Structure 1
Amino acid sequence: MKLNKLNSIIILGIIAIVGILVAQLLWTKEAFTIEEKKFSQKTHIALLEVAKKLYQGTNHDLPTENPIKKISNDYYVVNIDNDFEPEILEFYLKSEFKKMNLTTDFEYAMYNCQSDEMVYGNYISLSDKSKGKQSIYFPKHKNLVYYFAIRFPNETTYLFSSLRFWFVLSMVLILILLIYVYSIFTLLQQKKYSELQRDFINNMTHEFKTPLSSILIASNYLIKQEPIKKDKKLYTYAEIIINQSNKLNQHIEKILTIAKSDYSPLELNTENIAIVPIIENAIENIKLKYPEITTTIKTDSSDYTIIADSFHFNNLVYNLLDNAAKYCDTKPEIVIRLSKENQVLKLEFIDNGIGISNKNLSFIFDKFYRIPSEKSNEVNGFGLGLYYVKKICNLHHWKINATNNPEKGITLTILIPNK
C-alpha cells in the first residue's frame, strides 16, 4: 500500500513538472512568434517613413499602394519609383531604425538600371560586434526600377536575445526536472537498500542468534558436569567456548542495535541522572573484561546531574572505556575528567593508547570505520562503538570531538549544555 502511494506521488510529480515544462516551451514559442511580428511591424513602419522622406522635395507623390514587400523573414524590398542617393538612404535608414529601437545589424543594396542588377550598398553594424563589408546575395526583383532592399542577417539571434528570460526560465525548469528525476532514482535506490538491510537483520537474527543460544545452553550444561570439572584441560576448553560465545553474542547485539536504530530512530527516555554513579558503574563492568585497567575520576563535584537516557548514557561511557582499553599496547590507564565551563559540562576521557594519526582522526565516528594499523588487526570489532557514541550524543544534542594527546593516546571530549 505504501509503495503504491509512493509510486503515485512520484508519477504525479513527474507529470506536473513535465506539464509545466511543456507549457513553458509553448509559451516561449508563442512569445517568439509575437516578437517576430513586432519586429516585422516596426520594420514596416521604419521603411515606410524612409520612403516618405525620399519622396520629399521631388515632383512625385508617394504611391497609394504599399511600397514595402516582405520577401522573407529577414529580407524586405521598398519601391521608391524615384532616383535617390545611397548616402541619403543610409542616413534615413539609421535614423528611422533608431527611432523604432531596431538595434540589430542590417545591410542594404540598390537596383542599378544601367547594369540591371542589385548593387551592394553597405553593412551597418549597430552592435559593434561584426563590422566590415559582408558578401550576402541580394536577389533582383521583377517589375521594379527604383527600389532598394534591406536584409537583417542577425534577426533570429536578435529575437532570441530579446527572449533571454524565457529561455533561462525554461532551462531552470529542465534542470529542476532532472534534479527531481535523479532524487527519485536515489530515493528508490535507498529504499531498496533499506529493505535489503531489514531483510538481512531479520535473517541474521534467526541464523546467528538461534545456533548461538544452543551453543551457550549446551556449553553451560557441559561445564557443570563432574568429568569436565575434574579434567582441567576440558574445563578450560569449555570456558573458552562460553567466553567466546558471549563475546560473539555481544557483537551481534551491537550490530542489531545499530542497524535497528538506522531503520527506526532510537527513542530516548530522558530523566535527571547523576553522572558520577553511572561512570563508576561502567568502570566496574569494564574491569570484569579488563582486570588490569586503571581508571581515575577527576571532578570538582560529585553532584553533577544531566538530562539524559540513563541506559544509553551508561552504554556510551562503557563503549568509550572499552575502546580506550582495546587500543592500548601497555597497561590501560584512563582519566575521566568532569568540569564546568560557561554553562557547559565538559566530560573528557583521556587514555594512554596507541593514538590516531591526524588524517584519520576525523573518520573515527564513521560507521564500520576501523583505523588501519597492526593493533586494529589484532583486536576484534566492527567499527561500531564510536559510531554508536556519536549517535547517542547527536540524539541528546551534545557535541563530541577527539584530539591527540601531546605525549600518548587521545582525548574524547563530550560537551553537555547545562539545562
Structure 2
Amino acid sequence: MRQKHQLLPALCFIAMLILLGLQVYWISKYYNITKQNFEKEVNLAFEDAFKKEFSLRADSIQHILKRRLLDTTLFTITSKFDKKEKKVIYTVGETKRPKDKFSSSFSLHDIDVLINKENKKQITTLIAQRFSELLRNEDLNNHIVYYRTQELGKYMVELTNKIEFDTTNLRPILNKYLSKRSIFVKYNFYAKQKDSTTNSSTFNQALLKKYPIITHSLPTYKHNPGQNYVRVMFKDPFPYILSNMWLILFSSIFLVFLIAFCLYYLLKSLRKEKKLSLIKNDFISNITHEFKTPIATTMLAVEELTNKTVRQDEEKATRYLKHAKNELKRISELTDKILKISLYDTENYKIKKEKIEIEAILKEIIDIYSLSEKDVKITLKNNTGIVEILADKSQFQHAVANIIDNAIKYGRDEVEIDVNVLGDSGYLITAFKDNGPGIVKSDLPFVFEKFYRAKQNQSTVVKGYGLGLNYVKQIMDQHHGWYTIISNQNGTELKLGWPL
C-alpha cells in the first residue's frame, strides 16, 4: 500500500508533464498554422490592393485619354460605311497629320450610324469613350504602348510616366484590405530594381529579424530605376496570431491549471486520509490497550470471587469487588467520552444553556486536580466582575477539565497553572497558562483535530487518545465561541472565548 501511495504522486506528475507537453505541442502547431495563414492573407491583401491601385491609375489615364481624343485641335473622329463588312467604321486621325490615323479595326458593334451634324457631339463622345477603353484594355493592362498614331503614342508614354506607381497611393488602399482581414500589424514597403517573384529566402537575417513576414514581389513597371519590384514587409505578427488563438491559448492554460489543482487536491486528500488512517490506528491501539487492562483486571477479580474461599473472606471479597467496580467505572467513562465525540460529529446534539457561576465551577475543578499525584499548583484570578454567564454547565466543566488535565498529564514534575478570567468584546475569556515543555510549532495547527496527538519526548511518553482538545473544540463550536493556543518551550497558553 505504501508503494502505491508513493507511486501515485509520481504518476500524477508524469501525467501533468505529458499533458503540458501535448498542450505546448498543439499550441505551437496552431501558432505556426496561424502564422502561415497570416502570410497567406497578407499576400492576398497585397495583390488585391496592388490591382486596385493600378485600376485607379488606369481609370485616371483612361479619363484623360478620352478628353484628349475629343480635342479637335489634335484629333478628328470620322466615320464611313464599309460595304464589304456591312458596318460603319470609325477612324481617329491626327488633325495636323491627317494621314497619321487609326481606323483599321476600330468599330462599335452597338452603334452603327454615320456621324452627321445632328449626332456629331453624341457619337464622337461615345467613340472617344470606347476608344479610351480599347487603349486601356490593350495597352495599359498589358503595360505596352502601341503607337496607333505618333501623337497618341507619345502622349500615352508621357502620361503613364507621369501617373505611375507610388507606394504613397498604395498604402491607404492596402490598409483597407488588411483591415477587412482584421490585420493591423505595422509594415513597410521594400522596392528593388531586380527581384524574384517567389519568397523571401534571399533576404539577410538582420532584415528577417526585424520583418519576419515578407510578401512575394510584384512588378511596378516604373520607368525610374530602383523601384521595378515591390514587396511588403510586416513586423512580428504576434498580436494578430494571439487575437486568433487567444481562446485556445487561455482555455489550454485554464485546463492545465484546473487539472493541476485537481491533482494537487487529490494528492492532498490522499495524504490527509493516510495521516488520518495512521492517527486512527494509533488511537485504536491505545484505546484497545485501555479497554483490555480494566477488562482483564475485572475478569480476574470476578474469577477470584467465584472461589468459595475468597467469598468467605469478607476483606478479600470487598477488595476484589472494589477493583472490579473501579475498572468498570474507567470503561464507562472512556465509553462515554467516545460516544460524546461521536454525538457532536452528527451535529444533532443540542446544548442546554443556563446561568452558571464561573468562579464556583472553576474552583471546584481546581480543587479536584490539585489532589493529583504530581506536585500541582493552580491559581485563579478574576478581575472582570462577571459572576455568571449563559452556558451549558456540563460542557463548560468538561472543557475546563480537559485543558487542566492535559496541562497536568503532559506537564513537568512540578506543574504550575494560572487560570485567568478576562473580558473582551462581548466574550468572557478563560485563559489557561502552564509551565510545561510546550508543543512543537508544526503540531499547533493540528492539536484540535480528532485523534491527533502532538510529538512527545521519547523518555516521557504519555498515553492518550487525541480526543481532549477536539472535545474542547466541539464544545466551543456548540456555544459559538472561539479558542486560541500559543505555545513555546516555556509553556502553553490556551484561551476559550464564551459569548456573554
Counterpart AA for 2:52:
E
Q: Does 1:317 align with 2:417?
A: no
Offset of 1:271 from its aligned partner? 0.8
Determine the structure 2 residue equivalent to 1:369. Answer: 453
Q: Does 1:215 align with 2:274?
A: no
Distance 1:380 1:122, change over 3 A: closer
Q: Does 1:170 align with 2:247?
A: no
Taking the aligned partners of 1:356 and 1:209, their CA distance within structure 2 comes to 24
Offset of 1:64 from its aligned partner? 7.7
**Structure 2 residue matching 1:170: 3-state secondary structure:** helix
Distance 1:301 1:340, change over 3 A: closer
Counterpart AA for 2:168:
F
Of 327, 330, 349, the residue aligned with 1:267 is 349
Determine the structure 2 residue equivalent to 1:413. Answer: 495
**Deviation per CA, 1:40-92, whole angstroms, max 9, x where unpaired?**
98656533432234536656869789x9xxxxxxxxxxx8746889x944434
Offset of 1:380 from its aligned partner? 1.4
Residues paired across the two proteins, number = 362
Determine the structure 2 residue equivalent to 1:98. Answer: 175
Distance 1:355 1:137, change over 3 A: closer
Distance 1:265 1:129, change over 3 A: farther
Of 453, 464, 476, the residue aligned with 1:381 is 464
Offset of 1:208 from its aligned partner? 7.9
**Structure 1 residue matching 2:197: 3-state secondary structure:** strand
Offset of 1:320 from its aligned partner? 0.5
Structure 2 unaligned spans of 5+: 1-29, 63-131, 145-159, 223-227
Counterpart AA for 2:241:
F
Larger Rg: 2
Taking the aligned partners of 1:379 and 1:206, their CA distance within structure 2 comes to 13
Query: What is the root-mean-square deviation of aligned Cα atoms in Å?
Result: 6.1
Taking the aligned partners of 2:395 and 2:208, their CA distance within structure 1 comes to 71
Offset of 1:325 from its aligned partner? 0.8
Taking the aligned partners of 1:414 and 1:51, their CA distance within structure 2 comes to 89
Structure 1 unaligned spans of 5+: 1-27, 68-78
Determine the structure 2 residue equivalent to 1:338. Answer: 421
User: In the alignment, is the contact (CA less than 8 A) between 2:302 and 2:320 conserved in 1?
Assistant: no
* Aligned 1:351-366 pairs, distance under 5 A: 351-356=434-439, 364-366=447-449
Counterpart AA for 2:463:
N
Determine the structure 1 residue equivalent to 2:411. Answer: 328
User: In the alignment, is the contact (CA less than 8 A) between 2:212 and 2:235 conserved in 1?
Assistant: no
Offset of 1:321 from its aligned partner? 0.9
Distance 1:129 1:390, change over 3 A: farther
User: In the alignment, is the contact (CA less than 8 A) between 1:54 and 1:89 conserved in 2?
Assistant: no
**Structure 2 residue matching 1:332: 3-state secondary structure:** strand
User: In the alignment, is the contact (CA less than 8 A) between 1:109 and 1:120 conserved in 2?
Assistant: no
Q: Does 1:51 align with 2:57?
A: no
* Aligned 1:300-315 pairs, distance under 5 A: 300=383, 304-315=387-398
Taking the aligned partners of 1:387 and 1:180, their CA distance within structure 2 comes to 30
* Aligned 1:225-244 pairs, distance under 5 A: 227=310
**Deviation per CA, 1:323-353, whole angstroms, max 9, x where unpaired?**
1111222333333222323433121113233
Determine the structure 1 residue equivalent to 2:483. Answer: 400
Distance 1:81 1:189, change over 3 A: farther
Taking the aligned partners of 2:136 and 2:252, their CA distance within structure 1 comes to 49
Offset of 1:298 from its aligned partner? 2.3
Offset of 1:243 from its aligned partner? 6.5
User: In the alignment, is the contact (CA less than 8 A) between 2:49 and 2:174 conserved in 1?
Assistant: yes
Taking the aligned partners of 1:321 and 1:301, their CA distance within structure 2 comes to 21
Taking the aligned partners of 2:215 and 2:425, their CA distance within structure 1 comes to 84
User: In the alignment, is the contact (CA less than 8 A) between 2:186 and 2:234 conserved in 1?
Assistant: yes
Counterpart AA for 2:49:
A
**Deviation per CA, 1:187-233, whole angstroms, max 9, x where unpaired?**
99699989989x989x9999889867753642453576774997999
Taking the aligned partners of 2:458 and 2:277, their CA distance within structure 1 comes to 33
User: In the alignment, is the contact (CA less than 8 A) between 1:337 and 1:349 conserved in 2?
Assistant: yes
**Structure 1 residue matching 2:414: 3-state secondary structure:** coil
Taking the aligned partners of 1:132 and 1:279, their CA distance within structure 2 comes to 84
Offset of 1:369 from its aligned partner? 3.2
Point out the more displaced range, 203-212 or 168-177.
203-212
TM-score (norm 2): 0.51
Taking the aligned partners of 1:260 and 1:51, their CA distance within structure 2 comes to 90
Counterpart AA for 1:373:
N
TM-score (norm 1): 0.58
**Deviation per CA, 1:218-266, whole angstroms, max 9, x where unpaired?**
245357677499799999999889877866776676566546655x346
Determine the structure 1 residue equivalent to 2:210. Answer: 131
Point out the more displaced range, 240-249 or 379-388.
240-249
Taking the aligned partners of 2:432 and 2:200, their CA distance within structure 1 comes to 89
Point out the more displaced range, 289-298 or 178-187.
178-187
**Structure 1 residue matching 2:210: 3-state secondary structure:** coil
* Aligned 1:50-129 pairs, distance under 5 A: 50-55=53-58, 58=61, 81=143, 88-99=165-176, 100-101=178-179, 102-104=183-185, 118=197
> How many percent identity over aligned positions?
19
**Structure 2 residue matching 1:324: 3-state secondary structure:** helix
**Structure 2 residue matching 1:336: 3-state secondary structure:** strand
Counterpart AA for 1:104:
V
